[in-house]
Structure 1
Amino acid sequence: MTNFNVNRCSRIISVIVLLLSLCVNAALANAITPAKKPVPKDCVPLGDWVVPGLGKTSQQKIIARAVKASVVLLGETHVNADHHRWQLQTLVALHAVRPNMVIGFEMFPRRVQAALDKWIAGELGEKEFLRAAEWDRVWNTDANLYLPLFHFARMNRIPMVALNIETKLRHQVAEKGFYGVPLEEREGVTRPAEPSQAYMDFLLPIYKQHDRKDKKTGEITQDDPDFRRFIGGQQLWDRAMAQILQQAATESTDPEKPLVVGVMGAGHVLHGFGVTHQLHDLGIQNVIALLPWDSSKSCKQLVKGVADAVFGVLPHVSESFRPQFQRLGIRYEMGRGGAVVLQVEKNSIAETSEFMASDVILEMAGVPIRATEDVINVVKRQAPGTWLPIKIKRDGIEMLVIAKFPALNL
C-alpha cells in the first residue's frame, strides 16, 4: 500500500472515530442533562404556587404566611387524587414548622367523633375505623384517596375533628328556614352570618342551572323564597364547619394555640364566601385559604380573592385510585319520599345519565329507596357493562332514567 493510501485511510478512520465520538457524547449529554422545567402554558403551571392577582410565588413564602394563621383551609375536588396528594404535601410542610396542629375533616359528621379519637389513639385498624366512621354510608367516596391524610395524622398524633352535620338538618333548614327547625335538632349550630351580596351573585347562576323557574314570572331572582332557603342550607353547612374549627382554635388549654387546618370541598373555600365568612363572624380573622388549581381550568376564574394562593395540579382522576366498587356519582340525602340528589359529580355516570340536582330517586332496579343504604347497596351490586333502570321524580313528574355502567378495561 502506498503512503498516499495509508494516509488517506488514516484520515478516513480519524473522521469516523470523530463522528462516533460526537454521537456518543451527544447521546450521553441527552442522557444526563436534566430535563428543563416545561415552559408555562397555563396561568398556574404544574407544581407552582400563584397568588391570584399578584403572580407566581414560592412554597416557602406561602407556608411561612400560613403557619402564622389561626385557621388554614385546604380545598379539594373530592375524587381528584392529585388534590389529596397536594393536601398531604401541604400538611407535611405546615406541620414541619408548626407541629402543634389539629385537622378538621368535612368527610365526617360530628356524631362519629369517637371513631376519629380511637383511630388517632391507635385503637382501630383501617377497616374498623372506616366502619365505625360509617364511611360508605356518609361519604361514599374511595377511602384510598383520604387514607394517606388519616395515616399522617395518626402517625404524628395530630387530633382529627369531625366538621360536618347530618344531611337531614341541612335539608330541614333549606326547607323550613333556620328558626323552623327546633333548637334541640340544630346540633348546636348557631345562626349563620348573613351572606354577602357577592355570594348571592355567585350562587344565583348555579341555582338557575337546575332549571328552577318562578311559576309566575318564569325567572328566578335573589328574592325568590326557594333561592333564599337554598342559600340558608349552604350557609348552615359552612357555619357548622366554621364553629368546630373556631372551637379547636380557641378552646385549647395549651398556651400555644394549635394551627387548625380544615380539609373540605373547594366550594366552601372559594372567594371566602363560605367557611371563611362564617369564621370571621365567629371572631377568627386570620384565615388562610389555599386551593389546588387544575391545569385545564379557565384563567378567567383566577381572580384576586378566589383564594390566598393556589397550586397547579393535574385535572384528571388518577387511574390508581379508581373506586373499588361501582359509583353513580351523586351526593344525596333522604327526603320527599326517596333519595334527594344534592349534587351531580362532573364526568360521572350520573352526569352522563343526565341526573339533575333536586331529582328524587324513588326506585332502583325496581327496589324502593327508603334508606340511605338502599342506594349504596344497589349501586355496589351493579356489574360493569350493565344498565341500571332508575325511577325518579323531577318537578312532580315521575320518569325513568337509565344509568349505564361502563365495562372494565382489562
Structure 2
Amino acid sequence: MQGRSWAGVVLLGSLLWSPPVLAAPAPLPLDCQAALAAAQRQQQELQQQAKTLVVLLLGEIHTSLDDHAWQLGTLEQLSSERQLTLALEMIPAARQPVLDRFNRGELDVAGLLHDVDWPAVWGHDPNLYVPLLHWARLRRVPLLAINAEPSLVRRVRQQGLTATPTADRGGIGEPRPASPAYRQRLETSWRGHRSMGIGSGRNSDLQGFIDSQLLRDRAMAEALVAAHRRNPTTLLVALIGIGHLEGGDGVPSQLNDLGLTRQLSLRRPALPASCAPAPQGARLGAYLESDTNGVWVRQVAPGSAAAAAGLQPGDRIVALNGRGVQRAGEVIRGVRLLPDGQPLVLSVERGGQRLELRLRLPPSSDPRLAARDNGANA
C-alpha cells in the first residue's frame, strides 16, 4: 500500500524561487508540507477504518475534475482490500434496473447514460463521470442508484414535505429535521440560487428548498441502509455532493438516524497552489516540479516504481523513452498514458552524469488504458 500513499504520486509544482542546485533542491514551503501531511493523515484514517466501515461517503463539487480524479484514486486503493459497491447520487433509485443491466454487462457506459436519461436526472457533464463508470465496469464493481426522482424533488420544492403525502414520496420516510447549522447553509445556498434567478424568492420557497434537500438526504441514506441489509459484507462507497455531507449533516445525519453509524465522510484535501497531488494510485511514485532548467525530482515514495528503479531526490529528468521533456506535465502525461506492460526508460542527470533508469510500472489506474489493453468492453 505504500506506493499508493500521498507521496506515491506524480505532481506538477511551480517553483517560486531561483533555479536549484542539482543536488540540493529547496525545502517544500511550510503550507505545502502541512497540507501534504493532512492528506497523509486522511489516508491513514481511511486505511485504519477500511476493514470495518459500512459506508464511505466521498464528497465532490460536481464540476470538479480534481474531485472525480481523487474519488477514482480512492476507489482503486480500496478495491484491493474490500468488495465494493459504488453508489451514485447522480441517478435516482427508481432507475436501478438500468444500472442492473449495466452490472450484468448488458449495457455499456453510453447505453447507461442514455437509458437513465442523464441530461434530465443530473445534467452535469457526463464526461466527468465516464472514467468512474468505466472503472466500475473494469473492476466488476456494481453500481447503486440512491437519489430521489427529480419530479418528486420538484414537487416537494413547490409545496413542502407536509403537503406531500407519505404515499406519494416513493417510499421515502420522514427525514430527521435539519440542524440549525445545516439550515443556515441551505439558506445560503438558496440565496445563491435566488441571485441567479432560480426559485421565487418567497420565504415559502426557502422552506420548500430545505424540505427538498432533506428529502434527497433521506432517500440516499435509506437506499444505502437497504443495500447494506441486502449485503452486509460489502463496503458501500457513495459519490455525493459536499453540501450533503458537511458538518455531519445531510446524509450522515440521516444515516445515524437510521442506526447506521459505521460511516466515514471524506472530501479531497484542500492543498495550496503548486502543491496538489494527482489521483492516488499514480504509477511512478515521485513528486516532481518544473523550473526553467527542466524537471526535478523532489521526493520518491518508498516501495514505488520510482524507488525500485533508483530514482532519487535531486535527479533531473531529461527524457522519457528517448523523448526530451522540459515540464513535469510532460512526464505526468507520459507515465499516465503508457499502456500496461510497456517499458518506461527515464533519462536523468545526477551529479553531472547521465543515467538510464528502466522502470516496471504497476497497471494503469486509468480505466481507458487498462480496458483497452485487456480487451474489455469500455
- After TM superposition, is the score higher than 0.5? yes
> Among 215, 218, 221, which residue is 1:239 paired with?
218
The answer (yes or no) to whether the contact 2:98–2:112 under 8 Å persists in 1 is yes
- The Cα shift of 1:34 comes to 9.2
Correspondence for 1:41 among 21, 31, 50: 31
Question: Which amino acid counterpart does residue 91 of structure 1 have in structure 2?
Answer: L
Find the partner of 1:202 among 185, 198, 204.
185
Structure 1 Cα separation of the partners of residues 134 and 24 of structure 2: 34
Q: Aligned pair count?
A: 254
Q: Distance in 2 between matches of 1:160 and 1:208?
A: 34
Question: How has the CA–CA distance of structure 1 residues 201 and 42 changed in structure 2, closer, same or farther, with 3 Å as cutoff?
Answer: farther
Aligned counterpart, 1:272 = 248
Q: Does 1:257 align with 2:240?
A: no
Contact 2:38 2:269 in 1 (8 A): no
Q: Distance in 1 between matches of 2:24 and 2:170?
A: 56
CA shift for structure 1 position 296:
5.7
SS class of match (2:175):
coil
Q: SS at the partner of 1:124? A: coil
Residue 96 of structure 1: aligned partner = 80
Match of 1:334 in 2: none
Alpha-carbon distance between aligned partners in 2 of 1:35 and 1:116, rounded to the nearest angstrom: 50
Taking CA–CA contacts closer than 8 Å with sequence separation of 6 or more, which of the two structures ends up with the larger relative contact order?
Answer: 2
Do the aligned partners of residues 128 and 226 (structure 1) sit closer, same or farther apart at CA in structure 2, a change above 3 Å counting?
closer
Q: 5+ residue gaps in structure 1?
A: 1-26, 51-55, 213-218, 298-310, 315-410
Match of 2:57 in 1: 73
State the SS of the aligned residue for 1:82: helix
1:165 alignment partner, one of 148, 151, 156? 148
In the other structure, the counterpart of 1:284 is 260
Q: Is the 8 A contact 1:174 1:232 kept in 2?
A: yes
Q: Does 1:121 align with 2:104?
A: yes
Q: Flag the structure with larger Rg.
A: 1
1:123-138 correspondence runs (5 A): 123-138=106-121
Task: Among all aligned residue pairs of Structure 1 and Structure 2, give the percentage whose two residues are the same amino acid.
Answer: 33
Contact 1:121–1:154 (Cα < 8 Å) also in 2: no
Whether the aligned pair in 1 keeps the contact of 2:109 and 2:134 (CA below 8 Å) is: no
State the Cα distance separating 1:225 from its structure 2 match. 4.4
CA distance in 2, matches of 1:79, 1:202: 20
- Closer, same or farther in 2 for the Cα pair 1:293/1:250, shift >3 Å? same
- How far apart are 1:108 and its partner, in Å? 0.9
Contact 1:44 1:293 in 2 (8 A): no
Give TM-score scaled by structure 2 length.
0.60
- Post-superposition shift, 1:169? 1.0
Contact 2:31 2:272 in 1 (8 A): no
Query: Is the 1:292–1:313 contact (alpha carbons within 8 Å) kept by the matching residues of 2?
Result: no
CA offsets, 1:132-184, max 9 Å, x none? 12123322222222122112222222221111122221121122222322344
Deviation at 1:37, TM superposition (A): 7.0
Residues 175 and 154 of structure 1, relative CA distance in 2, 3 Å threshold = same
Rate the CA distance shift 1:136–1:82 in 2: closer, same or farther, 3 A. Answer: same
Which ranges of structure 2 fall in alignment gaps of 5 or more residues? 1-18, 196-200, 279-378
Q: 1:116 to 1:43 in 2, by over 3 A?
A: farther
- In structure 2, C-alpha distance between the alignment counterparts of 1:280 and 1:36, rounded to whole Å: 47
SS in 2 for 1:292: coil
